[in-house]
Amino acid sequence: MSSSQQTAWSKGWGVALLLLVILLVDQLLKVWVKTHMNLHESFEIASWFKITFIENNGMAFGMEIGSKVFLTLFRVVAVGALGYYIWLQLRQQARKGYIVLLTMIMAGAVGNLIDCLLYGQIFTESTPWSVAELVPFGDGYAPMLMGRVVDMFYFPLIESTWPEWMPFVGGENFVFFSPVFNFADACVSVGIIALFIFYRKELSTITFKREQAEPTEQQEETAAQE
């Protein structure tokens, strides 16, 4: 990476652009689904890939943990902390790949946070019989912090039936990878998995304290000349 690219990245332009692109893709997908599909409506792209519209009150992949308000406030705090940590890594000139993955995670969190904060304020209720519509701010289906997250990606990779002889579940249908998720969830999941695979060293030394970056060779030569 050239010095000009490094300078632009270290100033945060790379992070800002990546964040903007992820949020744009995520929100365009969600708004299209929200305004074109009934709740629980589904159409098939391939036998193993469907667009299925659901909404959830909780965490990624439809999990629900704790109260809705607590989850939304937790997201706000987590996004703020992660944004500050990314800023520190930029100042310390951390590896670009590490910052990219952190930005993906933050962008995914912000994407779902937008749903929680705004969708209840600007959309009517989605139902199995009607498509949601945009309304003036405040006239939506839920109070601030209580909006539901829009999910749409469904990958039923394997659909089969449990053998009859199996206790409790014999004869019942099962689907391998049944969660329905969105683009923001995918960014968070890919970012976290890649961090643990490729950046374990950085994860083991996480700190929110600002550290003085080591001087570059050019800085050392300048100091010696002075």
Instruction: Select which of 26, 115, 139, 185 is catalytic.
Output: 185
44 phi, psi to nearest 5 deg: -95, 125
Query: How many angstroms separate the Cα of 54 from the Cα of each of 34, 40, 51, 153, 157?
Result: 9, 5, 10, 9, 19
| CA–CA separation, 148 and 162 (whole Å) | 33
* Alpha helices by DSSP H, the chain: 3-10, 13-36, 68-91, 96-114, 120-122, 183-198, 200-204, 217-225
Residue 100 has pLDDT above 50, yes or no: yes
Q: Are 45 and 51 in contact (CB under 8 A)?
A: yes
Question: pLDDT tens-digit profile of 141-156?
Answer: 998 888 999 999 999 8
Instruction: Select which of 26, 115, 139, 151 is catalytic.
Output: 151
Residues 6+ apart with CB under 8 A from 168: none
- Label residue 190 left, alpha or beta by phi (over 0 means left) and psi (-120 to 50 means alpha): alpha
Average pLDDT over residues 14-40: 96
The residue assigned the tokens 């903007």 is: 20
Burial class (CB in 10 A: 0-12, 13-18, 19+), 18: middle
Residue 115 has pLDDT above 50, yes or no: yes
Question: pLDDT tens-digit profile of 185-217?
Answer: 999 999 999 999 998 888 777 666 665 545 555
Q: Are 86 and 15 in contact (CB under 8 A)?
A: yes
Burial class (CB in 10 A: 0-12, 13-18, 19+), 201: exposed
Query: How many angstroms separate the Cα of 203 from the Cα of each of 4, 80, 101, 193, 211?
Result: 28, 18, 12, 12, 16
pTM to 2 decimal places: 0.80
Residue 174 or 193, more confident: 193
Query: How many angstroms separate the Cα of 130 from the Cα of each of 166, 200, 201?
Result: 41, 47, 50
Task: Say whether 151 is catalytic.
Answer: yes
Task: Say whether 185 is catalytic.
Answer: yes
